[in-house]
Structure 1
Amino acid sequence: MKILSIQSAVAYGHAGNSAAVFPMQRIGVEVLPVYTVNFSNHTGYGAWRGPLIPPADVAEVIRGVEERGAFASLDAVLSGYQGSEGIADVIIDAVARVKEANPAAVYACDPVMGNAKSGCFVAPAIPDLLREKVVPVADVITPNQFELGFLTGTAPDTLESTVAAADAARDMGPRTVLVTSVERPDRPEGTIEMMVVDDDGAWVVQTPHLPMKANGSGDVTAALFTSHYLATRSAPDALARTASSVFGLLEQTLAAGDRELQLVQAQEHFAHPRLEFAVRQVR
Structure 2
Amino acid sequence: MKRVLSIQSHVVHGYVGGKSAIFPLQSQGWDVDYINSVHFSNHTGYGSFVGNKLTTMDLNLILDQLINKMQIKYNAILSGYIPNSDLISCLGSYIKELKTRDPEIFYLLDPVMGDNDYLYVDKSCIEEYKKLMIEKIVNLITPNQFEVELITGIKIIDKTTLKEAISKLHKEFNIPLVVISSIKSGILNNDDSFISCILSVNNEIKYYNIPIINSYFTGVGDLFSALLLDKWFLNSNITDNLQRLSKSINQVLTIMNKTLNLTHKMGLELASKEGLNGDVKNLQGKINDGKTMKYFELKVIQSKEFFSYSDDGEFEELSLD
TM > 0.5 between the two? yes
State the 1:162 CA deviation. Answer: 2.0
Question: Is 1:256 equivalent to 2:254 in the alignment?
Answer: no
Per mean C-alpha deviation after superposition, the further-off stretch among 119-128 and 8-17 is 119-128
Q: How many aligned residue pairs are there?
A: 279
Task: Say if 1:38 and 1:52, in contact at 8 Å, map to a contact too.
Answer: yes
Aligned counterparts of 1:210 and 1:255: Cα–Cα separation in 2: 11
TM-score for the superposition, normalised by structure 1: 0.92
Aligned counterparts of 1:166 and 1:27: Cα–Cα separation in 2: 31
* Partner of residue 189, structure 1: 192
Aligned counterparts of 2:42 and 2:167: Cα–Cα separation in 1: 35
* Partner of residue 36, structure 1: 37
Task: Say if 1:221 and 1:246, in contact at 8 Å, map to a contact too.
Answer: yes
* Partner of residue 273, structure 2: none
State the 1:180 CA deviation. Answer: 1.4
* Partner of residue 128, structure 1: 127
Task: Say if 1:52 and 1:84, in contact at 8 Å, map to a contact too.
Answer: no
State the 1:29 CA deviation. Answer: 2.2
* Partner of residue 180, structure 2: 179
Give structure 2 stretches of 5+ with no counterpart. 236-240, 268-294
Q: Give the counterpart letter for 1:247 in structure 2.
A: N
When residues 130 and 106 of structure 1 are mapped into structure 2, their CA distance, relative to the original with a 3 A threshold, is: same
* Partner of residue 62, structure 1: 63
Task: Say if 1:135 and 1:141, in contact at 8 Å, map to a contact too.
Answer: no
Task: Say if 1:167 and 1:197, in contact at 8 Å, map to a contact too.
Answer: no
Task: Say if 2:185 and 2:193, in contact at 8 Å, map to a contact too.
Answer: no
Question: Is 1:139 equivalent to 2:134 in the alignment?
Answer: no
State the 1:273 CA deviation. Answer: 6.0
Aligned counterparts of 1:26 and 1:281: Cα–Cα separation in 2: 33
Task: Say if 2:77 and 2:107, in contact at 8 Å, map to a contact too.
Answer: yes
State the 1:10 CA deviation. Answer: 0.8
Give structure 1 stretches of 5+ with no counterpart. none
Question: Deviation per CA, 1:72-110, whole angstroms, max 9, x where unpaired?
Answer: xx1221111102331111211121121123111122111
Q: Give the counterpart letter for 2:13 in structure 1.
A: Y
Aligned counterparts of 1:165 and 1:78: Cα–Cα separation in 2: 23
TM-score for the superposition, normalised by structure 2: 0.81
State the 1:188 CA deviation. Answer: 2.5
Identity %: 25
Question: Is 1:25 equivalent to 2:26 in the alignment?
Answer: yes
* Partner of residue 243, structure 1: 253
Aligned counterparts of 2:261 and 2:152: Cα–Cα separation in 1: 32
CA RMSD of aligned residues (A): 1.8
Secondary structure of 2:307's partner? Answer: helix
Q: Give the counterpart letter for 1:267 in structure 2.
A: K
